[in-house]
Amino acid sequence: MAYLYDSAGDDTLTAYPTVVTLAGSGVTLVASGFDSVFAYATGGGNDVAYLYDSEGDDVFSAYPTYATMAGEGYLNRADGFDRVDGYSTAGGTDTASLYDSAGDDSFVAHSDYAYLFGAGFYNQANGFAAVTGYATRGADTAWFYDSAGDDAFVSRPDGAQMTGEGFANVAVGFRRVSAYSSGGSDTAALYGFLGTNLFTAHANDATMAGKSGWAYASAFASVTAYGTKRDVAFLYDSAGDDTLTARPDGACLAGEGFANAVSGFGRVNAYAAAGGNDTANFQDSLGNDTFIARAGLASMVGRTFKNYASGFETNHAFSTHGGLDKAALYDSLGADAFVVRNGVSAMTTEAGVLSDATGFARVKAYGNLTGLDTASIFDTLGEQVTRRRTGFTVKGVSFSIQASAFRQINVA
């Protein structure tokens, strides 16, 4: 066992498994062939330490006040150094663990290196296949960066990780985590925290926020958020043509270069305001659901879910899974047209917004007698049609369609 002490100046510790040197102020101390070497930076100056691995499986552990590199037959330790770097270059399956202080610290992880720093310390792991950062005290934050390949980021209440070919970076105990994608077909999965969560997704980024945690994903090709019925999601479109697919158990808003999906949320709000020709598709549940479309807003609501779409140029609703589903289609202030054809009930506003319902047990369309709204029915196929002065009713074996308050009625 060997003990090396620094000088009052700036010193550098270089530690290999078989030889360790501490150099500074014209003096170099060398320890060769020792199983354990302890180096101390207590004399002052700006001291740095470099700890290198062996050809076997090694472990680099770094704390705010000391760090160790250990493998078969050796242990090197650096105490009190301002900065410590650990290197995995010789081979083996090496791992690194970086620990926080009592203050507010930051963990930054890249595909080939990671570091954790705070007041008075900086520890970095270079070239390790697996690096874990630990937050046990203070308001610590973690930052993840991808590689040039296809990587995956996962954030959970108990930790987060970014993985890709040849690397796995993990953050444990951090309340705030951020991940950045710069290339490849990267994916992100954000899980809700304890309590109620709010998920917000734009075309280029997404955030999961709760009282006990916060997770952010930037520029990922695909983001999926997992929540509970207490959680709410907000999905925003891009400047291009985007498509919303909303189901009772989840929803996805996708366009060129992005796909933001949610699963298990009790309420989903989707917005088409950035431009493009956007489409919303609503699916029903096994129970009794209600679809409503009016004034640029559309919604499908059931016992366990609420899906909303605002500003979409086209809204399609489908009742295919059973239940006594109902649809209500409302006109705008302009001259609108309600058409029933081949089992599809569609309202098209003067502004060109289309909302239609397919397969519903009950459909009601509402016009405005002060406007120039028209209601038309084609291809009745033997259904019972009752025409009135301002509307009509169509009845089949398992459905009914009613149009009310229209200025012009066409039955073909």
Ordered mean pLDDT values, 10 residues apiece, the chain (412 residues):
95 98 93 97 95 98 98 98 98 97 98 97 97 97 98 97 97 98 96 97 98 97 97 98 98 98 98 97 98 95 97 98 96 95 94 96 94 87 82 90 95 82
pLDDT number for residue 5: 95
Beta pairing, strands 279-283 & 243-247: parallel
**Residue 49 to residue 27: CA distance in whole angstroms:** 16
Strand, helix or coil at 65?
coil
**Residue 116 to residue 110: CA distance in whole angstroms:** 12
pLDDT number for residue 48: 98
Beta pairing, strands 250-255 & 290-294: unpaired
Q: CB of 77 within 8 A of CB of 37?
A: yes
pLDDT number for residue 411: 87
Beta bridge partners of residue 328, listed in sequence order:
292, 364
Angle ∠(302,303,307) on CA atoms, nearest 5: 40
Q: CB of 339 within 8 A of CB of 392?
A: no
Q: Residue ranges of the domains in the chain? A: 1-93, 94-121+129-183, 186-237+249-284+294-323, 325-412
Task: Return the exposure string of 380-410: e unless at least 16 CB atoms fall within 10 Å of the residue's CB, then b.
Answer: eeebeeeeeeebbbbeeeebebbbbbbeebe
pLDDT number for residue 381: 60
Beta pairing, strands 337-341 & 374-378: parallel
Beta pairing, strands 400-404 & 391-395: antiparallel
**Residue 273 to residue 266: CA distance in whole angstroms:** 23
Q: CB of 109 within 8 A of CB of 145?
A: yes
**Residue 398 to residue 376: CA distance in whole angstroms:** 21
Report how far apart the first and last C-alpha atoms of the chain are (Å, whole number).
99
**Residue 160 to residue 172: CA distance in whole angstroms:** 7
Q: CB of 383 within 8 A of CB of 400?
A: no
- How far from chain centre, in Å, is Cα 344? 36
Beta pairing, strands 362-366 & 400-404: parallel
Q: CB of 32 within 8 A of CB of 64?
A: no
**Exposed / middle / buried, residue 368 (Cβ in 10 Å: 0-12, 13-18, 19+):** middle
Residue found under tokens 């170099």: 28
Beta pairing, strands 59-62 & 95-99: parallel
Residue 198's alpha-carbon distances to 173, 191, 210, 212, in angstroms, are 20, 11, 6, 12
Per-residue tokens: 373: 């709204």
Residue 28's alpha-carbon distances to 74, 84, 369, in angstroms, are 21, 19, 96
